[in-house]
Every structure is written in C-alpha cells, then in structure tokens.
Amino acid sequence: MLRWRMATDTTALKLVLTPLLIGAASLAGRRWGQAVSGWLVGLPLTSGPIAFFLALDQGAGFAAAAAAGSIMGALAEVAFCLAYAWLAARRWWIALAAGCAGFSAVAALLQWLAPPALPLVLVVFAVLVLALSLVPREAERAARSSPPAWDIPARMVVTTALVLAITGFAHVLGARLSGLLAAFPVYAGILTVFAHRLHGAAAAVQVLRGLLLGLFAFVAFFVVLGAALEPLGVALAFTAATATALAVQVGSLWFVLASPRAGAARISIG
C-alpha cells in the first residue's frame, strides 16, 4: 500500500513539476533571446527532476550512480551541439539527425567504457571549454518571426513524456544508463529546431552556444549531487546541488550577455 501511494505521489509530481519548469524556461527564453534560451537549457530542468524521482523511487544509491551517468551525458550533449552546429547551414532535419547520431555514438562509447568519476569530470570541463571554440561563428542575423501558439505546450508534453518514460523504465535500464539517457537533449533539440525553422541557422547556433555555456552548471549539479546523496540524504543533497548549479549558471551568464551575437539573435516578444 505504501509503495503504491509513493508511486502515485511521484507520478503526480512528474506531471505537475516538469511541465511547469519547462514552460517557465521557455517563456524566459522568448523574453531574453536565443542565446539565453540555450543557456537556460543548461540547467538540469529535465534530468534534475528525473534524478529526484529516481532517488524517491529507487533510492539514494541508485540516484547517485545515475548522476555519474548524467555527467557522461554532458559529453554526449557536446557531441550533439557540435554536430548540429556544423550542419546548421543545411536543412534542420539533416542537422538534427547528425546531432542525435553524435549523441548516440558518444553515449554508447561512454556506457561501454564506464570511466571513473574524477577523470570523467575533468575531461567533461576540458571538453566544454574546447567545444566553445569549435562552434562555428555565425555572422548572419537571426530573422524575426512569431512562434506558433502550440510551441510551448508541445515542449511541455514531450519533456514530461521523457521524464515518465525514463523513470518508469529505470529498473530495466539500470542506474548509469538511466542517468545518461536523462541528459538526452530533447528540450535543447526542440529549442534548436524551432529556432532553426523560425529564425534561421544563426539562431540555432546561438541556442547551441548558450547550451554549451549552460552545461557547466549542469555538470556542477550532478558532481555535487553524486557526492552528497548518500552521506547527506535526498533533501540536503538536492539543495546543495541546486545552489551550486545556480551559482555556476549566474557566473556563466556574463559570457552569454557579453557575446555581441547574443543581442543580434535576440527576439523581443511583447
């Protein structure tokens, strides 16, 4: 009875918390521009709730192992960003396919290698710095246009479905693979594709550049979470991880706003 009640409660949280988080981030991205929109995606808006529900459903040890998988997922997200950005001048579906293929290839390799935590974290931060220099420089201004009315509801539905699917099959996938798949850039992919289709390749690249900057906070969140879950418990670990991620995210905002192309890609809504 207790297990059934917990499952019911966590499902209700998933159905309410996840769309609220994604909807709020989407509205903020519309208000302050494409680069800021991508930067916001760096916060673990999808994988953070997934980690929380894994901790409630599967225990702190399982969620801590999943946090290591999410750190590996950040490397796979870098592959997604670079592959999409380098093919953004082509059709959006070609760039998206390349990005998904890049994510899948790196994710499969890391799942097989299962690198230890400390070297993995050092490699991820180094790769993020390198990736920012490899993103193509887009001089083209992003075109202005209004997004469709179903844009944000579609993002909320897709992201909530991802949370439900991954947490629902966590016992089959295992801890590391659950955490790795939680980092799959569904939300980032939606943001990038809509920016690409509505405003052009330059806008898509701006989203991806912002995402790479935001991933520093993503990694910081899961480093702290993985280290703190078992000794501190779920509540304190998530509090410390969230505070760390927000501090890193605020620091990276300067780089987003300092980019001269951030203003060029900004779209004023209202």
| Tally of structural domains, the chain | 1
* CA quadruple 216, 220, 223, 229: dihedral, nearest 10: -140
Is the residue at 13 inside a domain? no
> Distance between CA 12 and CA 17 in Å, rounded?
8
Is the residue at 208 inside a domain? yes
pLDDT computed for residue 106 by the predictor = 92
Is the residue at 255 inside a domain? yes
Does this model's pTM top 0.85? no
Is the residue at 28 inside a domain? no
Is the residue at 241 inside a domain? yes
Written as six digits, the tokens of 268 are 């004023």
User: Range of 234's domain?
Assistant: 34-265
Is the residue at 169 inside a domain? yes
8 pLDDT more than 80:
no
Q: Bigger pLDDT: 176 or 261?
A: 176
Is the residue at 29 inside a domain? no
pLDDT tens readout for residues 143-197: 555 667 777 888 788 778 877 776 677 667 676 666 666 667 777 787 788 788 8
pLDDT tens readout for residues 114-151: 888 888 899 999 999 999 999 987 644 545 556 677 77
pLDDT tens readout for residues 214-234: 999 999 999 999 999 999 999
Is the residue at 49 inside a domain? yes
> Distance between CA 197 and CA 195 in Å, rounded?
6
Written as six digits, the tokens of 260 are 């001269």
